[in-house]
A and B are shown apart, each in its own frame.
Chain A
Amino acid sequence: MSWRSPAREAESPADRVRRGDCWRGVLAASILGLAAAANAACPPDAADGTVVRKGDLLLAYRLAGKTERIPMAQHFALEVQLCDKDGVSAARLHKADATMPEHRHGMNYRPLITPMGGGRFRVEGMMLHMAGRWQLVFEVQAGKEKLRLSHDVQID
Chain B
Amino acid sequence: MLKRLGLAALLGFAATAFAGADKPALTAAELGRIAAHGPWPLPWTVDPGNRVSGNAAAIRLGHDLFFDPRLSANRRVACASCHDPVKGFQDGRRTGRGLVTGTRNTPGLFNLRQQRWFGWDGGHDNLWSASLRPILDPREMGGKASRVARALRSKSTLDCHYTEAFGKRPAASDPELLVNVAKAIASWLETLVSPATPFDEFRAALARQDAQAAAAYPATAQRGLRIFLDRGQCATCHAGPLFSNGEFGDTGLPFFVKPNGVDPGRQGGIKLLLANPYNLLGAHNDDATRDNATGTKHLRPEHRNFGEFKVPSLRNLRLTAPYMHNGSFATLREVVKHYSELDEDRLHADGERILKPLKLSEAESADLVAFLESLSPREAPPAPAVPPAVAACSVPRRRAPP
Chain A interface (Cβ < 8 Å from any Cβ of B): 72-73, 75, 100, 102-105, 107-112, 124-125, 127, 129-132, 156
Contacts and interface: CB of A to CB of B under 8 A. Distances in A.
B298 interface: yes
Nearest to A112: B298
B248 A125 contact: no
Given A75-B295, A105-B304, A129 B247 contact: yes
A129 B235 CA distance: 11
A90 to B, nearest CB: 28
Contacts of B302: 108
Given A124-B298, A131-B235, A105 B247 contact: no
A130 B246 CA distance: 10
B239 A108 contact: no
Contacts of B9: none
Interface string B231-264: 0000111011000011110000000000000000
Contacts of B353: 102-104
B299 A110 contact: yes
Given A73-B245, A110-B300, 17 more contacts: A73-B240, A75-B295, A75-B298, A103-B352, A103-B354, A105-B304, A105-B352, A108-B302, A124-B294, A125-B294, A127-B295, A130-B236, A130-B239, A130-B245, A131-B235, A131-B239, A156-B32
A109 B300 contact: yes
Given A73-B246, A108-B247, A110-B298, A156 B354 contact: no
A8 B40 CA distance: 73
A131 B295 contact: no
A74 to B, nearest CB: 9
Interface of B: 32-33, 36, 235-237, 239-240, 245-248, 294-295, 297-300, 302, 304, 351-354
28 contacts: A72-B240, A72-B245, A73-B240, A73-B246, A75-B298, A100-B352, A103-B354, A108-B247, A108-B248, A108-B299, A109-B300, A110-B300, A112-B297, A124-B294, A124-B298, A125-B297, A125-B298, A127-B298, A129-B245, A130-B245, A130-B247, A131-B235, A131-B236, A131-B239, A132-B236, A156-B32, A156-B33, A156-B36
Residue of B248, B302, B354 ringed by the most chain A CB atoms within 10 A: B354
A148 to B, nearest CB: 19
A124 B353 CA distance: 27
Contacts of B351: 104-105
Contacts of B239: 72-73, 130-131
Nearest to A105: B352
A101 B163 CA distance: 55
A131 B228 CA distance: 14
B299 A109 contact: yes
Nearest to A126: B298
Contacts of B246: 73, 129
Contacts of A72: 239-240, 245
Contacts of B300: 107-110
Given A108-B300, A124-B294, A125-B298, A73 B354 contact: no
Contacts of A124: 294, 298
A104 B250 CA distance: 13
A15 B167 CA distance: 64
A101 to B, nearest CB: 10
Contacts of A131: 235-236, 239
Contacts of B36: 156
Nearest to B36: A156
A88 B284 CA distance: 43
A73 B36 CA distance: 13
A106 to B, nearest CB: 8
Given A110-B298, A110-B300, A104 B247 contact: no
A93 to B, nearest CB: 16
A133 to B, nearest CB: 11
A10 B299 CA distance: 66
